[in-house]
Chain A
């Protein structure tokens, strides 16, 4: 197995020498840029940005403390959790980055392959090992893929970046259909295998992934992945970066032709995989075994619910069903109303690490919605956990509500952005906070450019920030959803100016409350029943009057 600590330490040392040569003028920026990107170091609008992978979203208290240390010592005391289970530090100095990588290496974390045309951080269901109805924990498979894909010599210069997600639950929280390759662990006739989706993605050409293999036997996973990547590596376009993702390869070739090439390659590759991959997977399953969940009375939880309305409100919104009786999954919202979605301070990271140790079996997850999760908490520990979160400013009771807005950094940080996203999220959250509980589950996702890091296509309400005529303009999409039956939202009409977008979204939310049959009817169900017309009318109501 890959010796992470030694390998990461060597990589950090190598990068330290590269930074020194850049600073003393031995390397030009043109020479240095690919080297820094291989180590996850971008140059953004205001500063360098270091993107650190949190493989399949799994964190330990030691890892979260290391991230807190890094934020405090070499950044501005906070980190930004992304929509792909990464954390970004927005203000490092170049000379400090090797030290940051060393600190990461101490806890087995790194920033390798968080940039460039490589296989990126493998993402997974953040409720892995805990979610009710799970077929299998996806993390051993995700870790196997991480080990296989890290520094894989054949796949360091792919036509374009390549994202892989894994879920082991019928409820697809890993958004597998929005990835270049999505892997769904399934069981048929008592056998375990994988449904493999390919060609999903958002960005300028949003596509729902197509089934490449309906049921791949468990033993065939790595040779099959190698066949897919090999076929894409050769067929993917290198003449136009906007047409280089596998979704375009599939659109141009057709899924049948691509599948045939994959199967041809697979047949040739399969004999070379003689079982070492399966032996590693078996080891990993042991490593990711469930913690010994305890049995204890839950009366204190019931009593706290009755006695404390603040706790009850948090429990009603931020807890999710656990597979084991007496336990719950606790979502720690990083979306304080008016705050920056996904940001956590060093103090907050340390608080979560401490609380996870005390009440969460030492297990922490980063979601794809920019929140943190404690996947295993005994019900009797929830009142104390809630008190600890309140003390850290982390007890916002809004998981899944309209104020739990997903937002990319937008033009506040990102050099690719065409408009701001964070201030729009902040203002919408403030404007809709009063109706958040009444509205129930209603998702808003905001991207500050067409690259769609805020997954705007997947929101009940999606907002895309663009530049139009030298000013910010915001397009609205309706009816998107992540999950097993992922759908891409439809553009509602012309864009809104920066000072028009918040009232427009408020009208849309108001229309939903007025149009839904009852509080149990989700936004997607209402829009499916009524069609988009009444929502579009509400959205453009003020504009129409102005005309």
Chain B
């Protein structure tokens, strides 16, 4: 049986920095999930993933991450994606050093 389709956005990691990135409707890669293209059908998802995979010089491991509509744009629909979008929930020591990124 075919896997049920869930709406989402295309996410990956930035090749140079490893940071979490999202693909916009214009084909740009951004760090803000709310700017991502919200994809609601399987055909569009396959096309966007195919395009993202061709951008391996920018994005590593693109996949369709589950998302839902939010007030400012799409937002993560699974806790793993929420953590990917927001960063570690326990940054106690991170604040001791400068973020060079």
Chain A residues with CB under 8 Å of chain B are 22-23, 25, 28-29, 43-48, 71-72, 74-78, 91-95, 338-340, 343-347, 411-413, 420, 422-423, 426, 467, 470-472
Q: Return the contact of A29 from the options B19, B56, B93, B97 (Cβ within 8 A).
A: B56
The number of chain B residues with a CB under 8 A from chain A is: 29
Q: How many A-B contacts are there with CB distance less than 8 Å?
A: 103
- Report Cα–Cα, A420/B79, bound state, in Å: 10
Q: Per-position contact with A for B59-101: 1 when CB-CB < 8 Å, else 0?
A: 0110000000000000000111001100111101110111111
Chain A residues with CB under 8 A of B80:
45, 411, 467
Minimum Cβ distance to chain A for residue B93 (Å): 4
- Report Cα–Cα, A472/B78, bound state, in Å: 10
Q: Flag whether B18 is at the interface (Cβ < 8 A).
A: yes
| Residues in B13-35 with C-beta less than 8 Å from chain A | 13, 15-20
Q: Flag whether B3 is at the interface (Cβ < 8 A).
A: no
Q: Return the contact of B56 from the options A28, A93, A94, A467 (Cβ within 8 A).
A: A28
Chain B residues with CB under 8 A of A29:
15, 56, 60-61
Give the interface SS of chain B, mostly helix, strand, loop or mixed.
Answer: loop
Chain B residues with CB under 8 A of A423:
89-90
Chain B residues with CB under 8 Å of chain A are 13, 15-20, 56-57, 60-61, 78-80, 83-84, 87-90, 92-94, 96-101
- Report Cα–Cα, A46/B91, bound state, in Å: 13
- Report Cα–Cα, A346/B100, bound state, in Å: 15
Known contacts A25-B57, A46-B88; is-contact A411 B15 (Cβ 8 Å): no
Q: Return the contact of A412 from the options B16, B18, B90 (Cβ within 8 A).
A: B90
Minimum Cβ distance to chain A for residue B72 (Å): 21
26 example contacts (A-B, Cβ-Cβ < 8 A) are as follows A23-B15, A25-B56, A25-B57, A29-B15, A45-B80, A45-B84, A47-B19, A72-B97, A75-B97, A75-B100, A76-B94, A77-B98, A78-B94, A91-B18, A92-B18, A94-B16, A338-B92, A339-B93, A343-B93, A346-B97, A411-B79, A423-B89, A467-B79, A470-B78, A471-B79, A472-B79
Q: Are A46 and B18 in contact (CB under 8 A)?
A: yes
Q: Return the contact of A45 from the options B57, B83, B101 (Cβ within 8 A).
A: B83
